[in-house]
Amino acid sequence: MNIEILPLVVGGFGLLMALVIFGMIVKMPAGSGKVQEIAQQIHEGAMVFMRREYTLLYGFVAILTIGLYLGFGHWQTPFAFVLGAVCSGIAGYFGMFSATKANVRTTVAANEHGAAKALSVAFYGGSVMGLTVAAMGLLGLGTLYLMFAGDPHTVEAIHGFGMGGSVVALFSRVGGGIFTKSADVGADLVGKVEAGIPEDDPRNPGVIADNVGDNVGDVAGMGSDIFESYCGSMIACIAIASTMSVTLFSQMAAERESLMFLPLALASTGLLCSVLGILLVKMFSGKKPDVALRFGTIGATVLFIVAAYFTTAALDVNSIVWMCVLLGAVGGILIGLVTEYYTGSKPVRDIAKGGETGPATVMIAGLAVGMESVVIPVITLAGIIFGTAMILPEGAGVYGVGIAAVGMLATVGITMAIDAYGPVADNAGGIAEMAELGAETREITDGLDEVGNTTAAIGKGFAIGAAGLAALAIIAAFIEVISSQVEGFVLDIGNPMVLMGMFLGGIFPFVVSAMTMRAVGDAAFDMIKEIRRQFKEIPGLMEGTAQPDSKKCVDISTQAALKRMVAPGALAVFAPVVVGFGLGAAALGGMLGGALISCVLLALTMANAGGAWDNAKKYVEKGNLGGKGSDVHTAVVVGDTVGDPFKDTSGPAMNILINVMAIVSLVIAPKLAQMPNGIFG
């Protein structure tokens, strides 16, 4: 067998496994009556939003495709761009479709069979997302590798695939994040704080929109987010290897073709290990949910580390490259564990205790936790960079960073499965509450949801670390492409153009954060007014004898998301083009460096502070420090509502922002090399 078709074979197998698991899900009991009615509202709301979002998104993609064709004068890069957008869109859409089918079946399983069965169903729902992300990435990149990698004149077209995936990711993550958090903030502030009714109470008009948002933001959005980092890391390795000198190849005892194909081979190995990890979770589903999920994640990673050694050996690549894989895989676990500590341990209890003196001390404590949580993950990323530089020959360290990113992301099938499990479990609890299935069922779904909150927080930390490494590798590939065509090109910090670019780059994360935070705030304001209106004007709503108008709330979130997601997307895509062709390659390289640092630091701060505020609220709601209805509870709910857009809208947008800027820069690099000083440089 020609080894270059391995990604297509493994990708096809992964997609087949996703379809098999989806078939198992839909065959499970979906309930009847009120349970089915609520589930159908959530499913329809999610599908309507996705169709409207994708209609707008693919209009934007069409414009960019025309621009790429006119700019490059050939079909290869635009074709790769469209393929990347389609693969990312399919992964997000199918994963979310599966999640909206799994949520109600998780509720029914909890009600009729208990925690073990409910865990299996929820995890299966997440597994479809994870396997689809990995499979579509391998199928898309594997196809392009066969088409273009053999010709040095067309290999650069592969970069377009990453740009297509990144554009879809930015729109999906930002749009989904605005949708879900505008609904969540509005439902919480009016329902829990003002009306004093429980979370997911069927009387609250914003609850259906909140549950819809969990799917479009935390499943489809997160899937697209991970997809672009996953593919971006592989594309960066291919680009760097294609421009390496012959001397470096001889020092690494490898052929150029082997180093170009290695990331795809490692990702194929990782997908197979992810499938084994999913089976491990199933085997241990009778134990505590957190134990089963942890066993699957760490088990898949350990299997991958071992298998990766034999993969590198099979390609006749020096074992020192495998050590870069090891660094990335271990670094991913470490970042996840640090995130778990800051969002689920003593820091959370300290934030909750701050509620005894009001919301202000909750906010102060949460921000402090978020800032402190940056330290170890960033040191870990720095350690990975340092380690690859020490392991590989001088000049090959950037390739090692890319391979470390691939090592961190190779088991994305299981990592994404565990992350997407969280929203499914959260939805299951909401359906149980709205359908009034009783305290025993809700206790089971609450237990699954609690674990899901932790896995979601870990997933966000992992996504940030992976995005940072992937973006660094793409930036390194950008520099390699320019320097291979422009003699003497380096990014010298003593160059005023580079310094200026760094400061310009540092602006973008704050601008995009402001845009997305304001979008959530404005939409939440409209949502709050609508929920208050319904409580006031619909007779019998508070007494439970009338039905809320949930569709109106879904429409408010949809309109806000569609209207506000275009500007951040356009900024991320066009800023590198304007700076690169206006001020030159050195200024653009500096801008990417400044944006990378700011994005990683801001993303970690916001994601972990938001996760800690969320879990502090849940800690109080368990009966600690006065429990529900107390002044402490009111204070931590305020913290949670501020943390919602932090962790689910603005924070996640940072990973995609830097990757979009980096991959767009890599795509335009061949053209930029023809005028490296720009129009005004």
The stretch 457-461 carries a mean pLDDT of 72
Give 537-562 pLDDT, tens digit per residue. 888 888 777 888 888 888 888 888 88
| pLDDT tens digits for range 570-627 | 899 999 999 999 999 999 999 999 999 999 999 999 999 998 998 899 899 888 998 8
pLDDT band at 440 (very low <50, low <70, confident <90, very high): confident
pLDDT at residue 336 in the model: 84
For residues 255-281, give the mean pLDDT.
91
Which of 210-224, 498-512, 553-567 is the most confident on average?
Answer: 498-512
| Three-class DSSP category at 318 | coil
Rounded-to-integer distance, Cα 410 and Cα 308, Å: 10
pLDDT at 449 over 80: no
Q: What is the mean pLDDT of residues 122-134?
A: 91
Helix (H, G, I), strand (E, B) or coil at 412: helix
Compute the distance between CA of residue 328 and CA of residue 325 in angstroms, rounded to an integer.
5
* pLDDT attached to residue 306: 95
Q: Select the highest-mean-pLDDT range: 91-100, 465-474, 595-604.
A: 595-604
Q: What is the pLDDT of residue 222?
A: 81
Percent of the chain clearing pLDDT 70 (strictly above): 97
Confidence of residue 418 (pLDDT cuts 50, 70, 90): confident
Whether 1 has a pLDDT exceeding 60, the answer reads no
Whole-prediction pTM? 0.89
Angstrom CA distances, 453 to 54, 193, 270, 426, 653, stand at 28, 21, 25, 8, 19
pLDDT at 597: 94
Q: What is the mean pLDDT of the chain?
A: 87
Percent pLDDT > 90 in the chain is 37
CA gap 381, 376 in Å, rounded: 9
Please give the pLDDT value at position 681: 60
Please give the pLDDT value at position 3.
Answer: 84
Question: In which band, very low, low, confident or very high, does the pLDDT at 368 lie, cut at 50, 70 and 90?
Answer: very high
Q: What integer pLDDT is reported at residue 198 of this predicted model?
A: 74
Closest CA to 440 of 114, 147, 206: 114
Q: 């005892």: which residue's tokens?
A: 253
For residue 297, the model assigns a pLDDT of: 83
Look at 144 and 211; give whichever has higher pLDDT.
144
pLDDT at 72: 86
For position 16, what pLDDT does the model report?
A: 95
**Between these two residues, 620 and 243, which has the higher pLDDT value?**
620
Q: Tell me whether residue 86 is exposed, middle or buried, using C-beta atoms within 10 angstroms of its C-beta: 0 to 12, 13 to 18, 19 or more.
A: middle
User: Which of 99-108, 287-296, 314-323, 514-523 is predicted least confidently?
Assistant: 287-296
Average pLDDT over residues 216-227: 83
| Spatial CA neighbour of 425 closest among 125, 20, 116 | 125
- Structure confidence at residue 581 (pLDDT): 93
pLDDT on residue 57: 86
Nearest to 471 by CA among 408, 538, 558, 526: 408
Mean pLDDT value across residues 254-261: 83
The sign of the CA dihedral 143, 145, 150, 155 is positive
The span from the CA of 90 to the CA of 589, in Å, is 32
Transcribe 442-478 into DSSP letters: HHHHHHHHHHHHHHHHHHHHHHHHHHHHHHHHHHHHH
Q: How is residue 517 written in tokens?
A: 């935070």
Q: Which of 149-153, 228-232, 632-636 has the lowest mean pLDDT?
A: 149-153
- C-alpha separations of 341 from 116, 149, 655 in Å: 25, 43, 21
Model confidence band, residue 499 (pLDDT cutoffs 50, 70, 90): very high
Task: Answer yes or no: are the C-beta atoms of 177 and 228 closer than 8 Å.
Answer: no
Identify the pLDDT of residue 249: 66
Residue 638 pLDDT exceeds 70? yes
SS3 string, 231-294, reads: HHHHHHHHHHHHHCCHHHHHHCCCCHHHHHHHHHHHHHHHHHHHHHHHHHHHHCCCCCHHHHHH
Cβ-contact 164, 61 below 8 angstroms: yes
In whole angstroms, what is the distance from residue 380 CA to residue 365 CA?
Answer: 24
User: Which of 152-156, 189-193, 259-263, 527-531 is predicted most confidently?
Assistant: 259-263
The pair of three-digit structure tokens given for residue 360, joined into one six-digit string: 């202000």
Q: In the 8-state DSSP scheme, what is residue 393? A: P
Q: Which of 316-325, 354-363, 539-548, 657-666 has the lowest mean pLDDT?
A: 539-548
Residue 58 vs residues 50, 52, 53, 62, 464: alpha-carbon distances, Å: 12, 10, 9, 6, 26
- What's the pLDDT at 378? 94
Instruction: Tell me what pLDDT residue 310 has.
Output: 94
Q: What pLDDT band is residue 360 in, cutting at 50, 70 and 90?
A: very high
Instruction: Categorize the per-residue pLDDT at 253 as very low, low, confident or very high, splitting at 50, 70 and 90.
Output: low
CB 274 within 8 A of CB 411: yes
**Residue labelled with tokens 């799917």:** 215
